[in-house]
Amino acid sequence: MSVPDWWETILLAGAAWRVFYLLGEDDLLDRPRRYVTRLGKAWQNEGDPVDSAYRLWLGQFLQCPYCLGLWVALAWWGAWEIWPFETLVAGTPLMLSAVVVGAHKVLAS
């Protein structure tokens, strides 16, 4: 087991943040997120065998940076432990996207 250097840590952190943001917050995956949690109006069924408290918990989990963010970060770190070069190659476009999103949020306000 090894620890990534500072540059790899920044790249992995940016890629993990971007994946978390895509899964939990981004409008692009809003419809699949509502389908999975069944919290949107289109998927509310009276005979649903899944408890509504579980669906609410799942929705909160998907939007929690402390919850989902931890698991996404662990997945990136684990992938880096197994395939260091390939993980950095896969993470680079996500990190670049994270920088663009972050810059837009800062400059748009």
Per-residue pLDDT of the chain (109 residues; tens, 9 = 90+): 889 999 999 999 999 999 999 999 888 888 888 888 877 655 455 666 667 777 888 888 998 999 999 999 999 999 999 999 999 999 999 999 999 999 999 999 8
**Which residue shows structure tokens 């971007």?**
18
CB–CB of 20/98 below 8 Å?
Answer: no
CB–CB of 95/16 below 8 Å?
Answer: no
The residue count for the chain:
109
1 inside domain: no
Cα-trace Rg, the chain: 17
Range of the domain at 71: 6-108
What is the 8-class DSSP label of residue 51? -
pLDDT at 49: 66
41 inside domain: yes
66 inside domain: yes
108: three-class secondary structure by DSSP: helix
- How many domains, in total, are found in the chain? 1
- 86 C-beta neighbours (distance < 10 Å), count: 11
78 inside domain: yes
**Which residue shows structure tokens 């896969």?**
90
CB–CB of 20/70 below 8 Å?
Answer: no
54 inside domain: yes
pLDDT at 21: 94
What are the phi and psi torsion angles at 17 (to 5°)?
Answer: -60, -40
pLDDT at 38: 75
pLDDT at 52: 73
